[in-house]
Amino acid sequence: MSTSIIEKKIASGALASHVLLAGNPKAPPAILLHGAGPGVTAAANWQRCMPDLAKHYYVIAPDLAGFGDTDLPAELPRHILAWIGLRVEQVLGLMDTLGLERAHLVGNSMGGALTLHLLVQAPERFDKVLLMGSIGAPQRWTYEMHRLLAFYADPRIARYREMMHSFVHDPAAVPELEDIVQQRYATATDPKIRAVQEILFAAMREGMDQLIIPEAALSRLPHQVCIVHGRQDRIVPLETSLYFLQHLQHAELHVLDRCGHWAQTQRWDAMYPLIVKHFGG
């Protein structure tokens, strides 16, 4: 079976999404939702993971609205809930175009909050779920998160490198980190991307608490949820995952040592078998 990655522009509701696809379309579908760091794309988050997952699943990784090459509405949203609503419709529209009645979900950071909003608004469309360093819970905002959201106030490469280093537990243990810095910095400072993300990050700074999923909404979700969190995560504190563990009906938490915010980069050795065990395959 081929595990190569295909890039496509696919209709997804009112807009077209730039999407990475891998695996057999007849296999169980798994949708990967990336986070919200400056310059992030589906490829930046998931391309190293997709060949492994494609051995078991039909893997679908879109650039979420506001990132990468996915289309945008003529008028950009100014509130974070409007951005999330746009992405909810994007994911559901993408599933409709691909003919997917249901799918597994993996949500990283902001993609985790989007995952939970999808479960609340369309619970019947999703099977099992994995959250990784997810926001969407009451939390203290770390200094690193504040600096991330203020990146465009001082968009120099040195500042960007400092920020990316804070995503990992030990930068020296991630030999490809400087390549990630250079690639993502080039995307983040592309004039077209920057113009959109300055508006997006302003909305995030002003309204992040609006992304919190209330306890009552979490408690009604029937889905089986595997929660993964890096013990040394300096972007999103572990307390967010404890909130989900406390209020979801069916959840288990795995705390990974020697791991910051990017479990898929630093601890794929642990995360990959967790996904396969949880989703099946």
183 to 155, 192, 231: CA distances (angstroms): 14, 16, 27
- Indicate whether this model's pTM tops 0.85: yes
**Domain annotation covers residue 209:** yes
The SS3 assignment for 164 reads helix
- Choosing from 18, 169, 261, 278, the catalytic residue is 261
**Domain annotation covers residue 79:** yes
> Quick check: is 170 catalytic?
no
> Quick check: is 12 catalytic?
no
Whether pLDDT at 194 is above 90: yes
Distance of CA 35 to the CA centre of its chain: 4
> Quick check: is 229 catalytic?
no
193 to 18, 38, 159, 185, 238: CA distances (angstroms): 14, 9, 18, 11, 30
The alpha helices in 190-238, defined as continuous H runs, are: 191-207, 215-219
Angle between helices 177-188 and 191-207 (to 10 degrees): 90
Beta carbons within 10 angstroms of residue 173's beta carbon: 11
**Domain annotation covers residue 1:** no
- Choosing from 17, 63, 104, 109, the catalytic residue is 109
Whether pLDDT at 20 is above 80: yes
Whether pLDDT at 210 is above 80: yes
- Choosing from 17, 165, 233, 241, the catalytic residue is 233
**Domain annotation covers residue 63:** yes
Structure tokens at 188: 């983040």
Q: Across residues 29-36, what is the average pLDDT?
A: 97
**Domain annotation covers residue 235:** yes
Are the C-beta atoms of residues 9 and 18 closer than 8 Å to each other? yes
Chain segment 120-176, per-residue pLDDT in tens:
999 999 999 999 999 999 988 899 999 999 999 999 999 999 999 999 999 999 999
Output the pLDDT for position 18: 98
Output the pLDDT for position 75: 94
Structural domain that includes position 113: 6-279
Output the pLDDT for position 2: 60
Give the CATH number for residue 10: 3.40.50.1820
Count: domains in the chain: 1
